[in-house]
Structure 1
Amino acid sequence: MVHGSSTAELADNLATTGAARNRSFWRALLASPSGLIGLFVVGLLIFCAIAAPVIAPYDPLRMAAGPRLDPPSMGYIMGTDDFGRDVFSRILYGARLTLQIGVIAVGISLTCGLLLGLVAGYSSGWTERVLMRLVDVLFSFTEIVIALACLAIFGVGLTNAMIAIGIASIPFYARVTHSVVLVEKGKPYFEAAVAAGAGHARLIFIHLLPNVVPTLIVIGTLGVSTAVLAAAGLSFLGLGAQPPQPEWGFMLSSSRDLISRAPWMMIFPGLAIAVTVLGFNLLGDGIREALDPRQRQR
Structure 2
Amino acid sequence: MTQQVSTPIPPVAPLPTKSQELQQFLRVLLRSPGAKIGALILVVLILVALFAPAIAPYGPSEMGVGGNLQSPSAEHWFGTDEFGRDLFSRIVHGSRLTLMIGFIAVGISMTAGTLIGLVAGYAGGWLETILMRAIDVLFSFTEILIALATVAVLGPSLTNAMIAVGISSIPFYARVTYGAVLVEKNKEYFKAAQAVGARHHRLLFRHILPNILSPIIVVATVGVSIAILSASALSFLGLGPQPPSPEWGAILAAGRDFFRRAPWITTFPGVAIALAVLGFNLLGDGLREALDPQQRS
Q: TM-score when scaled to structure 1?
A: 0.92
Displacement after TM superposition at 1:107 (Å): 0.2
Where 2:178 maps in the other structure, the secondary structure is: helix
Q: How does 1:146-295 map to 2 (within 5 A)?
A: 146-295=146-295
Residue 132 (structure 2) pairs with residue 132 (structure 1):
yes
1:152 maps to a residue whose letter is A
Residue matched to 1:107: 107
Residue 20 (structure 2) pairs with residue 37 (structure 1):
no
Q: Structure 1, residues 213-236: CA drift from partner, whole Å, max 9, x if none?
A: 111110000000000000000000
Q: Structure 1, residues 62-83: CA drift from partner, whole Å, max 9, x if none?
A: 0001111111111111111111
Displacement after TM superposition at 1:294 (Å): 2.4
Counterpart Cα distance in 1 of 2:295 and 2:18: 21
CA contact (8 A) 2:25 2:296 kept: no
Displacement after TM superposition at 1:27 (Å): 2.4
Displacement after TM superposition at 1:240 (Å): 0.2
Q: Where in structure 1 are there 5+ consecutive unaligned residues?
A: 1-12
Cα RMSD (Å) = 1.6
Counterpart Cα distance in 1 of 2:94 and 2:23: 34
Higher share in helix: 1
Q: Structure 1, residues 253-298: CA drift from partner, whole Å, max 9, x if none?
A: 101011111111111000000000000000101111111132467x
CA contact (8 A) 2:35 2:283 kept: yes
Residue matched to 1:63: 63
Counterpart Cα distance in 1 of 2:294 and 2:164: 36
Q: Structure 1, residues 147-182: CA drift from partner, whole Å, max 9, x if none?
A: 111111111111101101101111111111101100
2:101 maps to a residue whose letter is I
Q: Structure 1, residues 177-199: CA drift from partner, whole Å, max 9, x if none?
A: 10110011112222222233322
Where 1:153 maps in the other structure, the secondary structure is: helix
Counterpart Cα distance in 1 of 2:295 and 2:257: 46
1:91 maps to a residue whose letter is I
Counterpart Cα distance in 1 of 2:154 and 2:201: 36
Where 1:228 maps in the other structure, the secondary structure is: helix
1:227 maps to a residue whose letter is A
1:31 maps to a residue whose letter is R
Where 1:183 maps in the other structure, the secondary structure is: helix
Counterpart Cα distance in 2 of 1:180 and 1:70: 54
Where 1:100 maps in the other structure, the secondary structure is: helix
Where 2:212 maps in the other structure, the secondary structure is: helix
2:63 maps to a residue whose letter is M
Q: Where in structure 2 are there 5+ consecutive unaligned residues?
A: 1-13
Residue 101 (structure 2) pairs with residue 92 (structure 1):
no
Q: How many correspondences in the alignment?
A: 284
2:146 maps to a residue whose letter is I
Greater mean alpha carbon deviation, residues 23-32 or residues 117-126: 23-32
Displacement after TM superposition at 1:29 (Å): 1.4
CA contact (8 A) 2:70 2:79 kept: yes
Q: How does 1:11-50 map to 2 (within 5 A)?
A: 17-50=17-50
2:188 maps to a residue whose letter is P
Where 2:240 maps in the other structure, the secondary structure is: coil
Residue matched to 1:141: 141
Identity of aligned residues (%): 61
1:148 maps to a residue whose letter is L
Counterpart Cα distance in 1 of 2:147 and 2:125: 31
Residue matched to 1:9: none
Counterpart Cα distance in 2 of 1:176 and 1:112: 12
Greater mean alpha carbon deviation, residues 91-100 or residues 193-202: 193-202
CA contact (8 A) 2:119 2:128 kept: yes
